[in-house]
Structure 1
């Protein structure tokens, strides 16, 4: 995969995650591509989730599956 394709893939994932979070009422204002991880040479582009307040963290935790109870 070419360097530009890695960046486009990461941008698509960010958009997908932003949409999924919006469906559960969560907005991460800092969600985006970590500019320090993409310098045009490195193919590992990182997604920056950023910080969030306690209420946002609570909403995200509530939206994730809980522990399996039948183990």
Structure 2
């Protein structure tokens, strides 16, 4: 991988980290924490990574709170 490809890969990963952080902050704003929220390791492993944000696992009550927040937002549109 040359320098340009590495810079592109680093930018892609940085963008995915920013998206993860934005989601974490937005969820925190409505009182929801997804403890496993992070980047998906295997999606970072190739020479040209295509990072995915891993939402991970949560307890059923957290899933219900998330569903309620999404429904409320959809209703308000």
What's the Cα RMSD here? 1.8
Counterpart contact for 1:33–1:47, Cα < 8 Å = yes
Match of 2:14 among 8, 16, 23: 8
1:42 equivalent in alignment to 2:42: no
TM-score by length of 2: 0.79
Most deviating of 58-67 and 26-35: 58-67
Long gaps (5+) in structure 1: none
TM-score by length of 1: 0.85
State how far apart, in whole Å, the 1-side matches of 2:61 and 2:31 are: 11
Deviation (angstroms), 1:40: 4.7
Q: If each structure's helix is expressed as a fraction of its own residues, which one has the higher value?
A: 2
Aligned length: 68
For the residue of structure 2 that corresponds to 1:57, the secondary structure is helix
Long gaps (5+) in structure 2: 1-6
